[in-house]
Amino acid sequence: MAVDITIPSPGESITEVSLSGWLKDDGAYVEKDELLAEIESDKATLELRAPAAGALKIVTKKGDGIKVGAVVAAIDTSVGAVAAAAAPSGGNKSSAVAPAGAPVSGAVAAAAAPSGGSAPKVSGVAKKVAAEKGVDTAAIAGTGPSGRVMKDDVFGAVAANSSAVAAAAAPSGGNHAGAVAAAAAPSGGNKTRGVRREKMTRLRQKIAERLVHAQHTAAMLTTFNECDMTEVMRLRTEHKDAFEKRFGIGLGFMSFFVKAATSALQKYPRVNAYIVGQGSEMEIEFHDYADIAVAVGTEKGLVVPVLRNAEALSFAGVESAIKDFAVRAKDGKLTVDEMTGGTFTISNGGVYGSLMSTPILNPPQSAILGMHAIKKRAVEDPKNPGQIALRPMMYLALSYDHRIIDGAEAVGFLVHIKDMIEKPERMLFA
C-alpha cells in the first residue's frame, strides 16, 4: 500500500513553498514520523515527516514553486526494513565498509558502536547538514539546550574527522605536504577570484520584498535619544539570582524595554496604530492592546515572533516567551500565526555590537524601536549637576511613519521610554 506525502499548508494565503532538499535517499526505509525534508514558505520553515513506515519513493526533487497540497513523495508500507536495506539505492552509493588501514568516519564508527541509551535531540538544520556530510549525530555531543545537537556541532565533527584523515595520510619525515603546497601555490599571495551564486530562500525573498515595500510606501523618519542604563543594570545585578531561582529564567534587559514600551504605547496610541486603506479611504486603526513583535536573528533571516498582550505580561512572562521564541526560531519551529499581527516592534541590534542604526518599519506597523550596545561615555552626572561621570549609555532609535505620527509624538514616546529606563521604579505605576 502506498501512502502519499503531500505539502501541508503553512498558513493562510500561502499557496507555494520550496523544498530545501531530502534528508533520505529514494528507496530508503523510513520510520513513521521520521524527518524527511524541510519546506520553506515566505513566512516560516516547516518539517516534512513520514506519515507511515516503509520505503520512500521521491517524486519531487529540490526546488521552488511546489503547490500546497501537491504530492512530493510516497511511502510503500508493504516494504520492510530488511528489504529496503538490501535494495540498491539511487542516492548515496558510498560503501559502509572502509578499506583496510583507512580512518573510520564518524558515521561508520557510530554504526559499529553498540546501541543503548536515548538518541540525542537534533535540530532540523543539524540533521540536514549531517545527512549531507555523512555524519551520524548519535556520535556527537550536543552543545545546545538540553544537549541538543546544533549545526555547529555537526561542522565541528566534520572538521575533526577531516583532521584525522589528513594526519593519517601525511607521510613521515618532515612536512612534505607543506613543501608541495608551497611549490604549487602561485606567487604574490592568494590569487583566488572565485564567484558563486545561490538562490535566495523564499523567506529571504519575502524579507527583501517587505523591506523595500516599507521604504516605498511609508513616510519613514527616525528620531534618536540616549538612556542611562545605570539603574536597570543595578536592579538586574541585585535581583538576577533570586529572579532565576524563583522563575527558572534569566533577567535580561529586553523585559525592561518591553514594559517601558507598553507604557509608552498607552500614552501615545498612534504609535500603536495602523494606516488602513488608500487615498480618500485611508483610516487609522487603533489598538487597545500591545502585541510587541521581538526581532530574532536566525541563519535563514530575521523573524519577528509576537508577544501577545505584552501589557499584561510580567517580567518573567516576557523573558520566558522571548527565550522560547529564540530557541524555536533557530530550529525553524515558529508557526506563521506566531509571527503575524504585531502592533509594534522592538529590535535589539546591541547584541551584535551595533552602536546606532535606523531600523526599518515592519508593515503594517507604524513604528519600531531600536536598542543598541551599552557603552560607557562621559556625561553629566544627574546627581551632581555640572560634574562629569562615566555612565553606561545606550542609544535608542525610533523609526516611525510620519503620515500618522507627528514628530512631537515620536520624540515624546522616546523620552517616555528613556524616563522609564532611567527610573525603572516608575514601571510599578505604569
Supply the pLDDT for residue 335.
Answer: 83
Judged against a pLDDT cut of 90, whether residue 334 lies above it is answered with no
Mark whether 419 is an active-site residue: no
Supply the pLDDT for residue 98.
Answer: 42
Average pLDDT over residues 116-124: 62
Architecture of domain 203-429: 2-Layer Sandwich (3.30)
User: Global pTM?
Assistant: 0.61
pLDDT digits (tens, 9 = 90+) for 159-209: 777 666 555 555 554 455 454 444 445 555 567 888 988 877 777 777 788
Mark whether 406 is an active-site residue: yes
Domain with CATH 3.30.559.10 in the chain: 203-429
Domain with CATH 2.40.50.100 in the chain: 1-91
Fold of 112-166: Dihydrolipoamide Transferase (4.10.320)
**DSSP class of residue 272?**
G
Average pLDDT over residues 337-362: 92
Q: Which three cell numbers stand for residue 349?
A: 541590534
CA pair distance 296, 196, nearest whole angstrom:
28
Domain with CATH 4.10.320.10 in the chain: 112-166
pLDDT digits (tens, 9 = 90+) for 90-110: 444 444 444 444 444 443 333
Judged against a pLDDT cut of 60, whether residue 383 lies above it is answered with yes
**Annotated catalytic residue within 4, 33, 337, 406:** 406
The CATH code that applies to domain 1-91 is 2.40.50.100
Do 293 and 303 contact (CB within 8 A), yes or no? no
pLDDT digits (tens, 9 = 90+) for 243-295: 999 999 999 999 999 999 999 999 999 999 999 988 888 999 999 999 999 98
Supply the pLDDT for residue 268.
Answer: 97
Do 336 and 301 contact (CB within 8 A), yes or no? no
**Annotated catalytic residue within 241, 402, 416, 419:** 402
Alpha helix segments (H runs only) across 41-150: 81-86, 106-112, 124-133
Cβ-based neighbour number of residue 289 at 10 Å: 14
